[in-house]
Amino acid sequence: MPQVNKIGLFIPCYVDQFYPNVAIATLELLEKLGCEVVYPSGQTCCGQPMANAGYERDTVGTAKHFLKTFKDFDYIVAPSGSCVLHVKEHSPSVPGLESEQQVTQHKIYELTEFITDVLKIDSIQGSYPHKVGYHASCHGQRGLRLASASELHETPFNKARQLLQQLEGLEWVELTRKDECCGFGGTFAVTEEALSIQMGKDRLEDHISHDVEILTGGDMSCIMHLQGIASRNKQNIQFKHIAEILNEAIS
């Protein structure tokens, strides 16, 4: 494993507020894997909610703040494919900081791809005797290409699966629609509420009908949406971010 010294931990704003355990698990996991991780406390948001709603131009200040916060790190790692994709592809150009911005876009990684591609870890020792269903969040799936897409003719791969399947006792559940959207979609969840809910219910049904015990994924936003529906409908299924599973299994 190469020595990775300066990792800036980027915790999406809603994870900071609602899911501190996911952030803690991410931090602990990276530390267990031998990384030196710092959480710059001045960080805020990547600007995605505004940009996806059509106000990318209003996020220059947010983007600039992000660049400044993380400029001294070799890598930026976040437990969210969606926020990482936003920083990579949809941050508006920040006048005067164009070259820093380019560097940032190349040094930011989603957690699982950081483990597989940068740390190049191919064996994780641990045990997790559960039936796990994986929700492939779209921005990680088709944006960052964390896994092969069912639409494309390519050699199958899945970075999350690569890590999870090494855990002793973990049963990876094959879904009927392995990479269909859950209907979260940021403001879509509210502006197209009926569709969002239906899509969420359909995703849950796929997992539950395959006897999934724990639904996991790389983005808490999708999981927050799915968990919210499951909880309202008293459905018996647990939810965990992949960082929580890996961190728990390794300890």
The answer to whether residue 235 forms part of the interface with other proteins (CB under 8 A) is: no
Token duo for residue 250 = 């390794």
**Closest CB 58 distance from other proteins, rounded Å:** 5
CA separation for the pair 103, 4 (Å, rounded): 17
The answer to whether residue 180 forms part of the interface with other proteins (CB under 8 A) is: yes
CA separation for the pair 240, 169 (Å, rounded): 17
Which contacts of 141-148 are long-range, i.e. CB under 8 A and separated by 24 or more positions? 141/81, 141/179, 142/179, 143/81, 143/82, 143/85, 143/89, 144/81, 144/84, 144/85, 144/88, 144/110, 144/113, 146/81, 146/110, 146/112, 146/113, 146/218, 147/179
The answer to whether residue 15 forms part of the interface with other proteins (CB under 8 A) is: yes
The answer to whether residue 36 forms part of the interface with other proteins (CB under 8 A) is: no
Name the residue nearer to other proteins (CB basis): 93 or 187: 187
Site string for other proteins, 129-158 (x = CB under 8 A): ---------xx-xxx-----xxxxxx----
Site string for other proteins, 181-220 (x = CB under 8 A): x-xxxxxxxxxxxxx-xxxx-x------------------
The answer to whether residue 83 forms part of the interface with other proteins (CB under 8 A) is: no
The answer to whether residue 231 forms part of the interface with other proteins (CB under 8 A) is: yes
Residues 92-121 contacting other proteins, CB under 8 A: none
Place of tokens 């931090």: 27
The answer to whether residue 175 forms part of the interface with other proteins (CB under 8 A) is: no
